[in-house]
């Protein structure tokens, strides 16, 4: 095993410019006390947040994160006593006000090991206004030894007051080639790598989920078939697919999230002719984009958001699927 492989380092792919900017900040002692990493789901935000925690806590000031010191190793093993992750309250990506208050109290406590404590808020998109307000003061005037790191798909999901007190940085998906290499390093086979990259481009997280999780694979196939049914305005097929996906709530949610991505891809294609890959089937998104007006795309997106609200509000998956089918056909 080479020296490089024996380092405890999160396998961040691409985003080299961002990482070197952070390294520079650490050398100059200018690391932000509140950081937001944003970018599409699966592009490696949480991995970079972990790398950043390592950078903050590394004992080697010159070569941080070194991947060798005790701090780096503890962060790599998710066992560092000065790194704390805010737990979601169970609703879609939300943190409870109690969780935020608990973290505020923790943030006032001095670090166990070194100079800093890091507080991670993964998937902050669904954070309630109350929870964000409860955080405001800590982020505005953080204790000198505290660092807050948020990850979110979109900056738009955070309150401007909170956002204005953070350093926001974009995390980008890598190229399909870099993604394939990263998957090869994780011991996936050539054929399956090609299939996954064809579906999700340079989004390593989505590719891994597709290759390792049967329910994700099924959701991706269903979302592609649903896009085709929508493109053909085939109401019967739409209802059949939605009803099948509604066998359980989580599966329906997963499928609709991907369908929403397909819809965004299709909408962007009609507007700009370009293709940011969020969805899982380019051909189906292309078919959907033909004859798609911005107004219809918005109405369909609204119908999907409403379905999420229903699922959160304890409407059954079956009822949600039926109502969504009608709304999509009317859109
Ligand atoms: Zn280190």
Sketch the domain layout of the chain as residue ranges.
3-170, 213-330
Distance 69 CA to ligand 1 centre (A): 4
Distance 149 CA to ligand 1 centre (A): 19
Distance 78 CA to ligand 1 centre (A): 14
User: Does the structure show a pLDDT above 90 at 274?
Assistant: no
How far apart CA 240 and CA 258 sit, in angstroms, is 17
Distance 166 CA to ligand 1 centre (A): 25
Lowest-pLDDT choice from 140-144, 224-228, 305-309: 140-144
Distance 276 CA to ligand 1 centre (A): 36
- The sign of the CA dihedral 19, 21, 22, 24 is positive
Give the residue, 14 or 147, on which the prediction is more confident: 147
Distance 62 CA to ligand 1 centre (A): 10
What is the pLDDT at residue 129?
A: 87
Out of 3.40.50.300, 3.40.250.10, 3.40.50.720, 3.40.50.12280, the CATH code matching 3-170 is 3.40.50.300
- pLDDT tens by residue, 2-43: 444 467 888 888 899 999 999 999 999 999 999 999 998 889
Distance 7 CA to ligand 1 centre (A): 10
Distance 60 CA to ligand 1 centre (A): 5
Averaged pLDDT for residues 256-282: 84
Distance 23 CA to ligand 1 centre (A): 12
Contact (Cβ atoms closer than 8 angstroms) between residue 105 and residue 135? no
Contact (Cβ atoms closer than 8 angstroms) between residue 75 and residue 189? no
Distance 53 CA to ligand 1 centre (A): 10
Phi, psi of 59, rounded to the nearest 5 degrees: -85, -10
- pLDDT tens by residue, 90-100: 656 578 888 88
- Annotate 27-43 with b (16+ C-beta within 10 A) or e (fewer): eeeebbbbbbbbbbbbb
This prediction has a pTM of: 0.81
- pLDDT tens by residue, 213-238: 999 999 999 999 999 999 999 999 99
How far apart CA 320 and CA 243 sit, in angstroms, is 9
User: Does the structure show a pLDDT above 70 at 171?
Assistant: yes
Q: Which of 5, 9, 11, 17 is nearest to 181 (CA)?
A: 11
| CATH code for the part of the protein at 213-330 | 1.20.272
What is the pLDDT at residue 6?
A: 64
- pLDDT tens by residue, 49-59: 999 999 999 99
Averaged pLDDT for residues 148-171: 92
- Give 126's pLDDT tier (boundaries 50, 70, 90): confident
């Amino acid at each position: 095993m080479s020296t490089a492989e024996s380092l405890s380092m999160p396998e961040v792919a691409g985003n080299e410019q961002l990482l070197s900017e952070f390294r520079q900040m650490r050398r100059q002692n200018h690391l932000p006390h509140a950081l937001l990493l944003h970018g599409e789901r699966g592009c490696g935000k949480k991995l970079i947040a972990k790398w950043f925690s390592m950078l903050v806590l590394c004992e080697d000031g010159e070569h941080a994160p070194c991947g060798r010191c005790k701090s780096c190793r503890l962060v790599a093993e998710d066992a560092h006593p000065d790194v704390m992750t805010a737990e979601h309250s169970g609703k879609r990506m939300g943190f409870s006000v109690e969780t935020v208050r608990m973290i505020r109290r923790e943030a006032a406590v001095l670090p166990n090991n070194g100079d800093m404590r890091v507080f991670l808020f993964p998937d902050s998109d669904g954070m309630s206004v109350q929870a964000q307000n409860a955080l405001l003061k800590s982020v505005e005037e953080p204790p000198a030894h505290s660092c807050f790191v948020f990850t979110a798909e979109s900056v738009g999901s955070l309150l401007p007051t909170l956002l204005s007190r953070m350093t926001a940085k974009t995390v980008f998906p890598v190229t399909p080639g870099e993604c394939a290499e990263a998957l090869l390093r994780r011991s996936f086979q050539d054929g399956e790598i090609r299939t996954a990259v064809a579906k999700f481009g340079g989004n390593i997280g989505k590719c891994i989920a597709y290759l390792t999780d049967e329910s994700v694979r099924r959701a991706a196939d269903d979302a592609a078939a649903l896009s085709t049914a929508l493109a053909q305005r085939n109401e019967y097929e739409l209802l059949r697919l939605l009803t099948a996906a509604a066998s359980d709530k989580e599966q329906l949610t997963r499928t609709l999230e991907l369908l929403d991505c397909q819809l965004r891809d299709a909408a962007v294609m009609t507007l700009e002719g370009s293709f940011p890959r969020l969805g899982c089937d380019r051909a189906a998104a292309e078919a959907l984009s033909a004859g798609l007006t911005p107004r219809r795309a918005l109405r369909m997106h609204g119908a999907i958001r409403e379905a999420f609200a229903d699922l959160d509000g304890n409407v059954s998956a079956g009822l949600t699927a039926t109502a969504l089918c009608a709304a999509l056909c009317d859109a």
